[in-house]
Amino acid sequence: MEVIIDHRFEASSRGLPALANEIDTKILDKAIQGTLLAIEEGKHQVFEIAESARKEHQALRDESAVVQRQVQETIQEVDRLEAQYRLARRKLVEVSQDFAKYTETTIKEAYDAAHVLQAQLLVTREREEALRARRDDLDRRLRNLEATIAKAEALVTQLSIAFSYLSGDLQNLGTALKNAEQRQYLGMRVIQAQEEERKRVAREIHDGPAQMMANVVLRAEICERMLDRDVEKVRGELRELKEMVRASLSEVRQIIFDLRPMALDDLGLVPTLRRYLADFQDKHRVITELKVYGRERRFNSALEVAVFRTVQEALNNIWKHAKAKVTNVKLELTEKQIAVLIDDDGVGFAVEEAMQSREDGHFGLIGMQERIQLLDGKVEIRSVPNKGTRVHITLPITE
């Protein structure tokens, strides 16, 4: 995102106070409040559209599953009728070639049977074609609804960003105009990160635990209906339900860990990093080793979170982009600072191009740098194509 600043707004010692005096803040505030109201109403309307589309999408998915099952059953019925019709025609040919051997009644029965099967076959084939057409139409509607939902979610995010940014404090308007490009960019980044994280968590809960819980309720109702008829089948269903609940619980715990590792509050930085690196190695099959130098102890909460999130972001980048096989994390704890060194043997990248780019693919590096700089730390990234990457972070220890 490129922000163009008019030279009339330059923060000079004379121009900025004069500009602040010329602006009628009441009019500006009224205009912004009206804009905020319109944005909020628009966001609610888009949200309602998205929710309506999700409900219709779920209904169509359920209907599509039913139609798909009917298509399979109809295909099987067509195959069965075709086999019976072939046998009936063979029987009809047989009795028609030997009138002396078969009575007129037998011949008529063979003819009627073949005719009935032929009619049934034609009707069933027509039903199969109609079901296939219905299934294809449902698939097209589902794709269109998925596109609508995606556009609505993106629009809600953009409106939320605009609303949050415009609803800031206008009292220090003159000061806010100074260094406007840098502040606007950083503010937009923070808000965008918050909205994207909220959307990610909402999607993970909706697609994971929420869907599983809905399935658990449905299958529990089935068990309740079958309880008096087939106890063994109910036992099997309950075993599957138990596994589903366990899987859902595991997903919920993973979401909680991604939001805020509780071990960070309970045990501290080093034990949490050991656990995270072990899980990372098991999950992504990247050999990961942690070495700690210095005395392990508790630090300021903000400092521990910054170090943990930075290591987490670096490892995510390694998994997504570096194609590395081995990663080493070194943590040096002194009385005055924390130093972190992260090495990998991946494909590397052009650091200057990545840091200057504002594309989403490089947001992780920028976010890592901004997080450390907020705590007066330093980040140094060195990378050579096909020779891996080294990230060196230093953070001063403050009370």
Ordered by start, the domain boundaries in the chain are 22-178, 198-259, 262-396
* pLDDT the model gives residue 393: 93
Of the candidates 142, 144, 159, 145, the one whose C-alpha atom is nearest the C-alpha of residue 47 is 159
Question: What is the chain's Cα-based Rg?
Answer: 33
Same fold, 198-259 and 262-396: no
Q: Which amino acid is at 137?
A: D
pLDDT tens for residues 105-159? 887 888 888 888 888 889 988 988 998 898 899 889 888 888 888 888 888 787 7
pLDDT tens for residues 372-394? 887 888 989 898 888 899 999 99
pLDDT confidence band for 17 (50 / 70 / 90): very low
Does residue 15 surpass a pLDDT of 50?
no
Round to whole Å and give the CA distance between 32 and 55.
34
Contact 369, 328 (CB under 8 A): no
List, as one string, the DSSP characters of 135-202.
HHHHHHHHHHHHHHHHHHHHHHHHHHHHHHHHTS--TTHHHHHTTHHHHHHHHHHHHHHHHHHHHHHH
Does residue 23 surpass a pLDDT of 50?
no
Round to whole Å and give the CA distance between 138 and 53.
14
**What is the rounded end-to-end Cα distance, in angstroms, of the chain?**
37
Does residue 101 surpass a pLDDT of 50?
yes
pLDDT confidence band for 340 (50 / 70 / 90): very high
* pLDDT the model gives residue 245: 81
Identify the top-confidence range among 28-32, 52-56, 153-157, 288-292.
Answer: 288-292
* pLDDT the model gives residue 167: 63
262-396: CATH architecture? 2-Layer Sandwich (3.30)
| 204 exposure class (CB count in 10 Å sphere: 0-12, 13-18, 19+) | middle
* pLDDT the model gives residue 197: 62
Task: Report percent pLDDT > 70 for the chain.
Answer: 75
pLDDT confidence band for 64 (50 / 70 / 90): confident
For residues 292-300, average pLDDT:
90
Contacts of residues 238-245 at CB distance under 8 Å and 24 or more positions apart, as own/partner, are: 241/216, 244/212, 244/215, 244/216, 244/219, 245/212, 245/216
**Where does 22-178 sit in CATH, by number?**
1.10.287.2610
Identify the top-confidence range among 106-110, 184-188, 229-233, 324-328.
Answer: 324-328
For residues 47-59, average pLDDT:
85
pLDDT confidence band for 326 (50 / 70 / 90): very high
198-259: CATH architecture? Up-down Bundle (1.20)
Q: For 69, what's the count of Cα atoms within 13 Å in the CB-facing half-sphere?
A: 5
* pLDDT the model gives residue 233: 80
* pLDDT the model gives residue 338: 93
More confident residue, 344 or 101: 344
Round to whole Å and give the CA distance between 343 and 341.
7
Contact 199, 44 (CB under 8 A): no
pTM for this model (two decimals): 0.44
For residues 314-337, average pLDDT:
90
Residue 23 has what DSSP assignment? Answer: S
Q: How much helix, strand and coil, in percent to the nearest 5, is found in the chain? A: 75, 10, 20
